[in-house]
């Protein structure tokens, strides 16, 4: 049999199913909001809560094939990609798991049987080698005595002797800096011709000769925030085998980049860019990164500067740079998407998004980054030109690398060509600062630790889907972020209960509000958040006092809840209507739901036409009028996938059984949110707006229930007012409005024409009024009721057509006269203009604005204007 991705995956799942394991679908690639991981990095992630004892698994034996991404945090293979034969950012991990069932012996026996069994993978036993943790004598004995492996082929791996890093050896596996962990035993494949030689140096296991294929972890501890290892109560097994790796061994190619899937993708890139070197590292990097990008983008992530989006951006940019190194200068990555998706689908990968949506995200990042790359080149050139010594500041190398994504070797190479040295010490300093900053993110325990509070010690249960008032116990009170025994009137704080009716902020939905009360006091809850398994009621004590261990009634504001429910159920109906009208590619990208309105973001390229929007609105309102019952049920991931139920990343997926909200046969969505009982409860929905918010993502804003009614009423009253103003009845409003606008435009035209005529008349009149004195043209005129703009227009025409002129024109504005005046430049010799300004301002006690030859001023119209004009006139005549 030719082994390939599809049949090796199948053989693995079937093998363990025959051993009593339940086949589970792998969890989503994007980790949910409440884990400390960005991306799923191992098959066991989705079972974390089972391992930690927060939840009990319904199955004690499970097997999965899990999509993983190792590009950050504790498990980061990014820098290795292309340089080793067995690392890829994205990979599929085959794993079997035991919860309080079998332990070391069975786990080891199962792995051995699958790898070496004649009807299974049939690998030569002589080529296999194992490692065990130095304290795990039990595993050592199983390998040597029960399986019969020679002692030189069982390598004992010790811990790092450094006390601080105690238990950080290669054979002690941890999902992250905190969480489930334990010793492991690993199986390696010996790829050398001398595989039967005795092994004398155990370090050889880390050489290229050995390929790590299977990691069997015995999860025995939970590492807490302070680094301590808390023993777990039940025996747990977590194993992981890289699908691509084992396929590469079974296909005798010993490199994941040579298995048929990668071989096809790499050959395609090489053909596209006309490169003959099929083992080129850059080709491997590009193929790896674009494969990962496809999986990330299809889970709703877009390139950005934080979290998942940052990783996606980094992968696209690294791929571009490797393209650059292969001599490519134009956008090309987006051209790979279609073929890659085709290859992935051939290997039974679920690709939900269409080629265009994915390639357009990549293309836009490519176009954008090419410009950035150019900027990086320019910056480096500029810095090199302005260098005073032959040493480049390490900070510049860092800036180019960090801000522009400019590869270090590229800077090095350019410097080398220019005989420039680089201050690497400074560069290293900048890098270590950067590492510190990023460690702060990776170790971000705010999700698990709240101001010194170890959250795993507490847990609260939300039981408020139908119970709006629940009697519960106060577990903890925080005031000014400190644990206190009592909280008093006026104090703001946080109260944690063992059980609550308050829904917390999640799934885009705002939290409930309400009160916690007993006979001693009332706490007003303004906001509710969940961290780990703990629900925080945030608010203020409005009367009396409350204490830890008090029994209180948690009572939500029912009307507020109802309004939120109306909006949340509306989003599900809208989602379904959007898919009906626009197509199945419409996938929710995000939402925000409060009691007044909701926003719904989704993938779609074009803006929606009014007809489309009306149709969508109509469909939703039909659903509402059909008064369909809304129910919730719990399903496992498998059934969710099989039934094509809408399942968005970020949902709480870790439960074995997830809450599915079902609206008749219209909508099935995995959702934790609160919903109305029947669609009729929504009453009515109105879409308010639709717009694009980023590339390929549209946003609809909508209101429902009483807010939608108020909105329609306010529109109606506005229309009534317009009808009244237009003296029209409602039915004729449109025609009346059109004819009014037409009339208005006509009148505007007439008015403009009249104005123009008036202007011309005024000019003719003014020209006639010119007095000539000693060869200078004088004009002193009052123009009644002219607007200032027209006054200036007249002035400019006069200036253009007359030479040697001094004029004062003025008009009336309210209770004032507004003057503008002008003195031709060629009359400068007559008198000092400053003198005139002084004369005017002292005479009329006003501010004169004057700019070389044009001026203006404004005076009260209680002057005798003729006398006034004469005074100016004679002052000037007197000067000539
Ligand atoms: N969790 C372990 C690993 O990722 C075994 O599955 O290697």
| Cα dihedral 716, 722, 725, 727 sign | negative
Give Cβ neighbours of residue 405 (< 8 Å, ≥ 6 apart). 314, 317, 318, 321, 369, 372, 373, 376
Please report the atom of ligand 1 found closest to the CA of residue 93: 6
What is the arrangement of strands in the sheet containing 805-813, beginning at the earlier edge strand?
A: 771-773, 776-782, 805-813, 816-823, 854-860, 849-851
| CB 95 less than 6 A from any atom of ligand 1 | yes
State in Å: Cα 95 to ligand 1 middle.
Answer: 8
Please report the atom of ligand 1 found closest to the CA of residue 41: 4
Smallest CA separation from ligand 1 atom 4, residue: 42
Please report the atom of ligand 1 found closest to the CA of residue 42: 4
Give the pLDDT score at 447: 35
Please report the atom of ligand 1 found closest to the CA of residue 240: 6
- Counting ligand 1 atoms within 8 A of each CB, the residue from 86, 94, 173 with the most, and so the one to mutate, is 173
Task: State how far the Cα of 438 lies from the Cα of 72, in Å rounded to an integer.
Answer: 10
| CB 217 less than 6 A from any atom of ligand 1 | yes
State in Å: Cα 170 to ligand 1 middle.
Answer: 12
Smallest CA separation from ligand 1 atom 3, residue: 240
- b/e string for 339-377 if b means 16 or more Cβ within 10 A? bbbebbeebebeeebbbebbbbbbbbbbeebbeebeebe
Q: Please spell the DSSP secondary structure of 446-476, one letter per residue.
A: TTTEETTEEGGG---EE-TTT-SEEEEEEEE
Query: 3-state class of 255 per DSSP?
Result: coil
- Counting ligand 1 atoms within 8 A of each CB, the residue from 48, 171, 184 with the most, and so the one to mutate, is 184
Please report the atom of ligand 1 found closest to the CA of residue 175: 1
State in Å: Cα 238 to ligand 1 middle.
Answer: 6
Fold adopted by 769-879: Diaminopimelate Epimerase; Chain A, domain 1 (3.10.310)
Q: Is the pTM of this model over 0.75?
A: no
State in Å: Cα 637 to ligand 1 middle.
Answer: 21
Task: State how far the Cα of 497 lies from the Cα of 460, in Å rounded to an integer.
Answer: 6
State in Å: Cα 182 to ligand 1 middle.
Answer: 10
Give the pLDDT score at 656: 59
Q: What is the pLDDT of residues 766-819, one digit of tens each?
A: 999 999 988 899 999 999 888 888 899 999 998 888 888 999 999 998 888 999
| CB 183 less than 6 A from any atom of ligand 1 | no
Please report the atom of ligand 1 found closest to the CA of residue 68: 4
Alpha helices, H only, 530-587: 558-582
Which sequence spans correspond to the domains of the chain?
5-258, 259-384, 452-556, 561-713, 769-879
- Counting ligand 1 atoms within 8 A of each CB, the residue from 26, 217, 236, 243 with the most, and so the one to mutate, is 217
Give the pLDDT score at 735: 92
- Counting ligand 1 atoms within 8 A of each CB, the residue from 238, 241, 242, 245 with the most, and so the one to mutate, is 238
Please report the atom of ligand 1 found closest to the CA of residue 43: 6
5-258: what CATH class? alpha beta
Residues belonging to the chain: 880
Q: What is the CATH number assigned to the segment(s) 452-556? A: 2.40.30.130
State in Å: Cα 831 to ligand 1 middle.
Answer: 96
- Counting ligand 1 atoms within 8 A of each CB, the residue from 27, 40, 44 with the most, and so the one to mutate, is 44
State in Å: Cα 480 to ligand 1 middle.
Answer: 41
- Counting ligand 1 atoms within 8 A of each CB, the residue from 187, 239, 241 with the most, and so the one to mutate, is 239
State in Å: Cα 799 to ligand 1 middle.
Answer: 88
Please report the atom of ligand 1 found closest to the CA of residue 217: 5
State in Å: Cα 239 to ligand 1 middle.
Answer: 6
Smallest CA separation from ligand 1 atom 1, residue: 42
State in Å: Cα 43 to ligand 1 middle.
Answer: 7
Give the pLDDT score at 533: 81
- Counting ligand 1 atoms within 8 A of each CB, the residue from 215, 243, 246 with the most, and so the one to mutate, is 215
| CB 477 less than 6 A from any atom of ligand 1 | no
Smallest CA separation from ligand 1 atom 6, residue: 240
Q: Could you report the average pLDDT of every consecutive run of 10 residues in the chain (880 residues)? A: 92 97 91 69 87 80 95 74 89 96 96 96 95 91 95 83 52 81 94 82 81 94 76 89 96 94 96 89 94 91 82 90 84 95 93 85 86 80 87 89 74 79 89 69 37 65 94 92 89 94 91 96 94 88 94 96 97 96 87 95 90 97 97 81 64 62 92 95 97 83 96 94 90 91 95 90 91 90 89 90 90 90 88 88 86 88 79 86
State in Å: Cα 506 to ligand 1 middle.
Answer: 30
Fold adopted by 561-713: 3.30.980
Please report the atom of ligand 1 found closest to the CA of residue 241: 6
State in Å: Cα 186 to ligand 1 middle.
Answer: 10
State in Å: Cα 205 to ligand 1 middle.
Answer: 18
Smallest CA separation from ligand 1 atom 2, residue: 240
Please report the atom of ligand 1 found closest to the CA of residue 216: 5
Question: What DSSP designation does 304 have?
Answer: -
State in Å: Cα 870 to ligand 1 middle.
Answer: 101
Element (H, E) at 668: strand 667-670
| CB 85 less than 6 A from any atom of ligand 1 | no
- Counting ligand 1 atoms within 8 A of each CB, the residue from 26, 39, 41, 42 with the most, and so the one to mutate, is 42
Task: State how far the Cα of 419 lies from the Cα of 401, in Å rounded to an integer.
Answer: 20
Please report the atom of ligand 1 found closest to the CA of residue 44: 1
Cβ count near 845 (within 10 Å)? 9
Task: State how far the Cα of 479 lies from the Cα of 477, in Å rounded to an integer.
Answer: 7
| CB 43 less than 6 A from any atom of ligand 1 | yes
As a dihedral over the C-alpha atoms of residue 374, residue 375, residue 381, residue 382, rounded to 10 degrees, the angle is: 160
State in Å: Cα 659 to ligand 1 middle.
Answer: 28
- Counting ligand 1 atoms within 8 A of each CB, the residue from 12, 43, 45, 237 with the most, and so the one to mutate, is 43
Give the pLDDT score at 204: 78
- b/e string for 691-723 if b means 16 or more Cβ within 10 A? eeeeebbbbbebbbbebbeebeeeeeeeeeeeb
Q: Are 472 and 554 in contact (CB under 8 A)?
A: yes
Q: Are 566 and 676 in contact (CB under 8 A)?
A: yes
State in Å: Cα 215 to ligand 1 middle.
Answer: 6
């Amino acid at each position: 049999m030719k082994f390939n991705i599809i049949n090796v995956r199948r053989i693995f799942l079937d093998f363990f199913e025959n051993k009593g394991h339940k086949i589970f679908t792998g969890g989503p690639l994007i980790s949910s909001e409440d884990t400390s991981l960005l991306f799923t990095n191992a098959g066991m992630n989705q079972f974390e809560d089972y391992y930690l004892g927060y939840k009990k698994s319904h199955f004690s034996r499970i097997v999965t094939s899990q999509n993983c991404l190792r590009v950050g945090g504790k498990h980061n293979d990014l820098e290795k990609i292309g340089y080793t034969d067995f690392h890829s950012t994205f990979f599929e991990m085959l794993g079997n798991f035991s919860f309080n069932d079998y332990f070391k012996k069975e786990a080891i026996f199962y792995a051995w049987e699958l790898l070496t069994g004649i009807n299974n993978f049939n690998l030569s036993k002589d080529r296999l080698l194992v490692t065990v943790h130095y304290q795990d004598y039990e595993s050592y004995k199983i390998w040597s005595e029960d399986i019969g492996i020679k002692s030189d082929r069982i390598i004992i791996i010790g811990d790092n002797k450094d006390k601080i890093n105690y238990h950080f050896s290669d054979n002690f596996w941890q999902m992250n800096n905190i969480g489930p962990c334990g010793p492991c035993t690993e199986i390696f494949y010996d790829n050398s011709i001398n595989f039967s030689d005795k092994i004398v140096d155990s370090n050889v296991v880390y050489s290229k000769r050995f390929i790590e294929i299977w990691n069997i972890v015995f999860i025995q501890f939970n590492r807490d925030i302070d680094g301590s290892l808390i023993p777990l109560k039940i025996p747990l097994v977590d194993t992981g085998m890289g699908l691509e790796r084992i396929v590469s061994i079974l296909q005798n190619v010993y490199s994941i980049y040579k298995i048929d899937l990668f071989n096809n993708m790499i050959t395609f890139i090489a053909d596209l860019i006309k490169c003959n070197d099929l083992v080129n590292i850059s080709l491997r990097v590009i193929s790896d990164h674009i494969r990962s990008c496809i999986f990330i983008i299809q889970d709703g992530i877009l390139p950005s500067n934080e979290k998942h989006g940052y990783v996606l951006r980094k992968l696209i940019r690294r791929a571009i740079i490797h393209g650059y190194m292969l001599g490519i200068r134009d956008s090309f990555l987006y051209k790979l998407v279609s073929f890659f998706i085709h290859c992935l689908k051939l290997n039974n990968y679920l690709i939900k998004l269409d080629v265009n949506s994915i390639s357009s995200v990549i293309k836009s990042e490519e176009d954008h980054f090419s410009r950035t790359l150019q900027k990086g080149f320019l910056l480096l050139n500029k810095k090199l030109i302005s260098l005073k010594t032959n040493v480049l500041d390490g900070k510049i190398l860092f800036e180019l690398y960090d801000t522009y994504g400019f590869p270090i070797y590229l800077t090095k190479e350019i410097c080398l060509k220019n005989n420039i040295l680089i201050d690497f010490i400074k560069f290293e300093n900048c890098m270590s600062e950067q590492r510190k900053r990023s460690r702060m993110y990776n170790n971000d325990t705010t999700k698990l630790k709240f101001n010194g509070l170890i959250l795993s010690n507490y847990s609260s249960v939300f039981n408020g889907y139908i119970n709006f008032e629940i009697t519960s116990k106060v577990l903890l009170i925080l005031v000014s972020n400190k644990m206190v025994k009592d909280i008093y009137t006026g104090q703001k704080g946080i109260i944690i209960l063992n059980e609550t009716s308050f829904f917390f902020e999640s799934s885009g939905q705002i939290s409930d509000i309400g009160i916690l009360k007993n006979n001693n006091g009332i706490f007003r809850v303004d906001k509710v958040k969940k961290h780990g398994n703990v629900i925080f009621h945030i608010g203020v004590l409005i009367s009396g006092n409350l204490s830890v261990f008090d029994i209180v009634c948690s009572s939500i504001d029912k009307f507020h809840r109802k309004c939120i429910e109306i909006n949340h159920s509306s989003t599900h109906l809208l989602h379904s209507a959007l898919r009906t009208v626009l197509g199945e590619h419409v996938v929710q990208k995000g939402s925000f739901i409060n009691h007044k309105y909701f926003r719904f973001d989704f993938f779609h390229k074009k803006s929606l036409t009014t007809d489309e929007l009306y149709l969508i609105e109509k469909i939703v309102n039909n659903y509402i009028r059909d008064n369909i019952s809304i129910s919730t049920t719990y399903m496992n991931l498998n059934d969710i996938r099989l039934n094509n139920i809408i399942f968005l990343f970020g949902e709480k997926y870790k439960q074995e059984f997830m809450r599915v909200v079902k609206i008749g046969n219209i909508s099935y969505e995995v959702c934790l949110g609160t919903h109305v009982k029947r669609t009729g409860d929504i009453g009515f929905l109105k879409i308010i707006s639709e717009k694009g918010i980023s590339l390929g993502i549209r946003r609809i804003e909508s209101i429902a229930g009483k807010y939608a009614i108020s909105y329609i009423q306010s529109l109606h009253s506005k229309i009534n007012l317009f009808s009244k103003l237009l003296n029209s009845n409602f039915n004729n409003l449109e025609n009346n409005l059109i004819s009014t606008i037409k009339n208005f435009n006509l009148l505007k035209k007439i008015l403009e024409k009249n104005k123009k005529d008036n202007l011309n008349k005024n000019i003719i009149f003014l020209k006639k009024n010119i007095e000539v004195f000693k060869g200078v043209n004088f004009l002193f005129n009052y123009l009644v009721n002219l607007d200032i703009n027209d006054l200036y227009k007249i002035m400019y025409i006069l200036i253009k057509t007359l030479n040697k002129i001094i004029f004062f024109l003025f008009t009336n504005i309210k209770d004032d006269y507004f003057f503008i005046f002008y003195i031709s430049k060629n009359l400068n010799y007559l008198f000092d203009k400053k003198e005139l300004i002084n004369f005017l301002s002292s005479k009329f006690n006003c501010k004169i604005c004057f700019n070389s030859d044009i001026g203006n001023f404004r005076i009260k119209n209680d002057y005798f204007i003729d006398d006034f004009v004469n005074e100016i006139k004679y002052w000037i005549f007197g000067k000539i």
